[in-house]
Structure 1
Amino acid sequence: MLLHALDIGEGPRTAVLLHGLMGSSESWWRVVPRLVDRGRRVIALDLPGHGLSPRDPELTIERAASAVVDTVRVLAPGGPVDAIGHSYGATVLAAAAEQLRPDLAVYVDAALVLAGGADRHALTAAYAQDRLLRMSPDGLRATRPFSSERDAEVEARAAARFDPATSASVSCGPDQAWEAVPGSIVIRADPSAWVTDQDARRFEQGGVEVRSVPGAAHTIWYSHFDEFTASLPEMFGGR
């Protein structure tokens, strides 16, 4: 499966961006220009069942990871790649890392674990209800006061394009966990509902650097854009 991508900029290095659940490639709208300005080519993907990418009612994390690898190999064959994944997209990145082989992998507010055993019908219905609630930009801004008008419009459009059955499928198998390779970076909100202190210690014991952004929301760059970019000079530093 090949995925829809925003392919922007030119440069010797490619940054691959993977959004979170019910987001889209547009979720990175503020991040992409900053990376391009730093001399990078950026490939922001719509994960399966999101944005303009194909649906897959039998999706697993491994299938999503294979789609990411296949798409990047078509768009950027052989070139050096760095990658940022947020939440669900971070989990997909962890599963794809062995084949994608990024020089740097960054996991944003994700513990890289997945609870399985979900009831497919019930979870699909729950995602469908959440999707409806998130399709209103005004409703999003009411619950996310840090969101700009464009943030809310982008996320409402992503919700409208989201396929509940595709994403529900990934939670219907067994529990799973992935390891971040040594030298990777985890950036978490502080406090985080997704990366506990125990998770942080686990990452650090495995040679992964954990950096925190105090007071940030789960989608860190929406609430704390400057702090997010400052926390990752490897990607957002000078040209």
Structure 2
Amino acid sequence: MTELHLARHVPGGDPVLLLLHGLGATGEVWHDLLERNWPGEVIAPDLPGHGRSPRLPDYTFESMTAAVAAAVPAGRRVVVLGHSLGGVLALMLADGTYGFDVTAACGLGIKLRWSEAELAKAAEVAARPERVFATRDEAVDRWLKVSGLVGLVPPDSPRVAAGVVESDDGWRVAVDAKAFGVGAPDVPMLLTRAKGETVLAAGERDPMCPREHLVEVVPSPVVLPGIGHNAHVESPLSLWPILDRLLASATDALGQ
């Protein structure tokens, strides 16, 4: 089983808050969200093929979810907040078949509609050979673009360090391009399988997950005013009302 790199905060205690980043990023994107304390343990892994975590031979929602699940001790009560690809994995974990009880889950900024052209483009990206850059600055510039963090995270931020890696022949982006071929999720199906409370949310200005797409899937999505795709980086505190809601669900479940 793939052992993911984990950032752990406040070890011990339920409910565990599991934070899952989006495609191309690392667990470091959640750093500013943790300025407000969560009452239990917080785990923010680098997803398979991202940052400091090892790669998978094949990327599917199932294989990535299984790798994430292995990072959570069995029998724990868990709240999951996932962004984009991580949001899909959060909903998959919510079906209760991975050895721990997901009492509540939120998918933030999940792309709900995929055209054939978009899927073909993603497959083409996944098949590209890995690029080698002469300098760290070039690799950082590429990683910021791949992760969608241009303009949100400065190139000299310590949050960038896990996104690039030096090798004998130069610098590389710490993202396995094959992960881009994971495909399109069936979010309505995942919602029907979830055992606990589920929330779909997106920034008001998120072009990948506009409100009209959300309301086709859930009647009352959470739309964050004035925010784009990376709400957890742009405005971390705007997510705390969602976390308060998920925590209330988890607390109720713990009291049963």
State whether TM-score is above 0.5. yes
Q: 2:122·2:181 contact (CA, 8 Å) conserved in 1? A: no
Which one has a larger percent helix, Structure 1 or Structure 2? Answer: 1
Residues 21-46 of structure 1: per-residue CA shift (max 9 Å, x gap): 11111111112342xx2322001111
Match of 2:205 in 1: 191
Residues 169-221 of structure 1: per-residue CA shift (max 9 Å, x gap): 424xxx5413324731122100321223332213324xxx4111111121102
| Partner SS, residue 70 of structure 2 | helix
Q: Which amino acid aligns with 2:5?
A: H
1:18 to 2:9 alignment: no
Q: In structure 1, which of residues 153, 156, 164 is the aligned counterpart of residue 176 of structure 2?
A: 164
Shift in alpha-carbon separation, 1:116–1:29, aligned structure 2, 3 A: same
Tell me how far 1:2 sits from its aligned partner.
2.6
Q: 1:136·1:156 contact (CA, 8 Å) conserved in 2? A: no
TM superposition score normalised by structure 2: 0.72
Q: 2:126·2:178 contact (CA, 8 Å) conserved in 1? A: no
Q: 1:18·1:84 contact (CA, 8 Å) conserved in 2? A: yes
Q: 1:230·1:236 contact (CA, 8 Å) conserved in 2? A: no
Q: State how far apart, in whole Å, the 2-side matches of 1:77 and 1:89 are.
A: 20
Unaligned runs of 5+ in 1: none
| Partner SS, residue 80 of structure 2 | strand
Match of 1:84 in 2: 81
Match of 2:218 in 1: 204
Q: State how far apart, in whole Å, the 1-side matches of 2:240 and 2:130 are.
A: 31
Q: Which amino acid aligns with 2:28?
A: E
Q: 1:116·1:176 contact (CA, 8 Å) conserved in 2? A: no
The share of aligned pairs that are identical, in percent, is: 21
Match of 2:5 in 1: 4
Tell me how far 1:97 sits from its aligned partner.
2.3
Q: Which amino acid aligns with 1:24?
A: T
Tell me how far 1:113 sits from its aligned partner.
5.9
1:217 to 2:228 alignment: yes
Q: Which amino acid aligns with 2:180?
A: A
| Partner SS, residue 217 of structure 2 | helix
Q: State how far apart, in whole Å, the 2-side matches of 1:16 and 1:223 are.
A: 20
Q: Which amino acid aligns with 1:135?
A: V
Match of 2:140 in 1: 135
Unaligned runs of 5+ in 2: 166-172, 252-256
| Partner SS, residue 90 of structure 2 | helix
Q: In structure 2, which of residues 212, 220, 237 is the aligned counterpart of residue 226 of structure 1?
A: 237
Match of 1:71 in 2: 71
Equivalence map 1:71-150=2 (5 Å):
71-72=71-72, 76-98=73-95, 99-100=97-98, 101-112=101-112, 116-117=119-120, 120=123, 122-125=125-128, 135-136=140-141, 144-147=150-153
Tell me how far 1:128 sits from its aligned partner.
5.1
Q: State how far apart, in whole Å, the 2-side matches of 1:122 and 1:226 are.
A: 33
Q: State how far apart, in whole Å, the 1-side matches of 2:47 and 2:120 are.
A: 22
TM superposition score normalised by structure 1: 0.76
Q: Which moved more, 1:55-64 or 1:227-236?
A: 227-236
Q: Which amino acid aligns with 1:30?
A: D
Match of 2:169 in 1: none
Q: State how far apart, in whole Å, the 1-side matches of 2:13 and 2:74 are.
A: 14
Shift in alpha-carbon separation, 1:188–1:127, aligned structure 2, 3 A: farther
Match of 2:30 in 1: 28
Shift in alpha-carbon separation, 1:83–1:127, aligned structure 2, 3 A: farther
Tell me how far 1:145 sits from its aligned partner.
4.1
Q: 1:125·1:164 contact (CA, 8 Å) conserved in 2? A: no
Match of 2:254 in 1: none
